[in-house]
Amino acid sequence: MKIGFIGLGIMGKPMAKNLLKAGYELNVYDVNKTAVAEVVASGAKEASSSREAASHVDVVITMLPNSPHVKEVVLGAGGVVEGIAAGTILVDMSSIAPLVSKEVSAELEKLGVVMLDAPVSGGEPKAIEGTLAIMVGGPADAFAKVESLLGVLGASVTHVGDIGSGNMAKLANQIMVASNIAGMSEALVLASKAGVDPSVVYQAVRAGLAGSTVLDAKAPMVLAGNFKPGFRIELHIKDLQNALDTAEQLEVPTPMSTAIIGMMRELQQDGKGGDDHGGLIQYYEKVSHITARAK
């Protein structure tokens, strides 16, 4: 199977490399030529544009920052629509607004192209490991054709429903992750302020009901003061804004997400938007005038 892969950022680059390791043939494109060169060195072929990357392939995968980027790369001048052939499947693995997935899918359908929205969760570490959680929306028959391909990238690949439902599941995921990180941050800063070692508190609660994948992934990092991004605060802001926009359209209250995105935006204004989203603890540390670190 030949794949056109567009978007070689913090997530896309290791994903493309894993597909190459699994024996897939890749045509890759990104505006970052350093990233392209690295993936080409691993065995991919370089395309000169999104249009060229989408030409003469069986599947096109896009992994881009946000809704406007997907619309531009797929539907814009020199984009996927100018090169893709009828019968090709486009798998958009970006995390974008569900309504945009539906809009792009409708345009591709006019060309005889089926689209799946397949956002991922797990951050850079799981992208490197090939153990992402992948949530897929779109026709079941198209999903069946690419399920084994997606299995190279993820430990969990779930068909959620119609087009847009993959991104709806991702928005739900991002609300839960943000809430987990905020709760962890609040608790560890509270413990520190009370004079209790936050690393001991983490060990005490992790085997109980408060234990979670988020806690085990983020607590050791923040307790060490390590905010190297696996998933950046600025990207989580983007996802939460998509969630808030969708919730507004559906008339669903979002008090937690609204509060957390406010904290993240304050950190972004402080120049910390590029930090890992576990760096949300820095908001609590700032307002509490204490640093929660392992003693």
Per-residue pLDDT of the chain (295 residues; tens, 9 = 90+): 999 999 999 999 999 999 999 999 999 999 999 999 999 999 999 999 999 999 999 999 999 999 999 999 999 999 999 999 999 999 999 999 999 999 999 999 999 999 999 999 988 889 999 999 999 999 999 999 999 999 999 999 999 999 999 999 999 999 999 999 999 999 999 999 999 999 999 999 999 999 999 999 999 999 999 999 988 999 999 999 999 999 999 999 999 999 999 999 999 999 999 999 999 999 999 999 999 999 8
Q: Name the residue among 259, 255, 261, 256 with its Cα closest to residue 241.
A: 261
- Give yes or no: 2 in active site: no
Q: Are 89 and 116 in contact (CB under 8 A)?
A: yes
Coil, helix or strand for 2? Answer: strand
Query: What residues contact 127, with CB distance under 8 A and at least 6 apart?
Result: 10, 11, 14, 15, 18, 120, 153
Which CA distances in Å does 49 have to 31, 45, 134, 234?
9, 12, 26, 27
Q: Name the residue among 122, 113, 98 with its Cα closest to residue 11.
A: 122
Q: Which two tokens stand for residue 107?
A: 């345009």
Helix (H) or strand (E) holding 62: strand 59-62
- The superfamily in CATH containing domain 169-288 is N-(1-d-carboxylethyl)-l-norvaline Dehydrogenase; domain 2 (1.10.1040.10)
Domain 169-288 in the same topology as domain 2-163: no
Give the fold, CATH level 3, of 2-163. Answer: Rossmann fold (3.40.50)
**Residue showing tokens 């068909």:** 159
Q: Name the residue among 50, 58, 56 with its Cα closest to residue 6.
A: 50
Q: Which of 13, 126, 170, 218 is catalytic?
A: 170
Core vs surface per residue 194-221: b (16+ CB within 10 A) or e: eeebbbebbeebeeeeeebebbebbbeb
